[in-house]
Amino acid sequence: MSRKERPPIPEPLPVPTVDAHTHLDACGATTPDLVRAALDRAVSAGIAAVITVADDMDSARWVAEAATWDARLYGAVALHPTRTEGFGDAERAELERLASTDGVVAVGETGLDYYWDYATPEAQQEAFRWHIDLAKRVGKPLMIHNREAHDDVLAILASEGPPETVMFHCFSGDVEVARRCIDAGYLLSFAGTVTFRNARELQEAARLVPDEQLLVETDAPFLTPHPFRGRPNEPYCAAYTVVGLAELRGQPVEAVAEVTRRNAERVFHLHVTEIEDAERPPEGS
């Protein structure tokens, strides 16, 4: 099978869970019909709801609209840290409006990225502080993007005072960083990287996370889980990561699916059970 083809849809999880961070527009699902098809594939693997996340202004506008198209889809809006050079008042006003809409359940992804040099650390930090304040003002969770900036991300959160809920998306730290996040009460969300064979430090971190602070995501179309690394990712592939996390943590697959769903329902105020019931065909059909 070509590396350009999506992985096969796995057997459905024994209980449904949530893809807590994906980018459906970057996956090519940009119309209502394409979004519905991607969500149908996700549901067939046991991924009952999806949070699609913006990284620039065009994406933020799209996310806020797309979140109205299907009951299984929610959104998060922010300006990605690599795009914050020249972040001005007009963008801030529009993001505040979009973040206040009903289908948007989080402010994200925001944070710091010192791997790329598209925006200076100073611009990223100023924007990060603004997004922290925005999350507190609109009363929604904060989704953190953190790449090679662990100390500064945690220091800024501490100095600004974090919102009630902070999620580290695609957690990339080691055991020491995980402990600091756990002690601060933050949620850690794991993507397909936790299944990679060379990700030993990340796997050790994943074993530490208490059930009540654990989430799962795809970050699609990136970071497709093992053994399909390098192939296009999509929300249904979160099922592979749930299985991998269960093996790492020595827990039943249904337990990991259950706690990650319950955590997503709790912190993002989702209604996954109702969605699952609504999608189930009538008896005898």
Binding residues for a divalent metal cation: 21, 23, 109, 145, 169, 219
Q: Are 89 and 46 in contact (CB under 8 A)?
A: no
Query: Does residue 66 contact residue 25 with C-beta atoms inside 8 Å?
Result: yes
The 166-168 sheet, strands edge to edge: 17-22, 47-53, 73-77, 104-113, 142-147, 166-168, 187-190, 214-216
Instruction: Retrieve residue 230's tokens.
Output: 């390098």
SS3 49: strand
- Report the candidate in 19, 40, 38, 20 with the shortest Cα–Cα distance to residue 28: 38
Going by the DSSP 8-state scheme, the letter that residue 56 receives in this structure is S
- Binding site membership: which residues? 21, 23, 109, 145, 169, 219
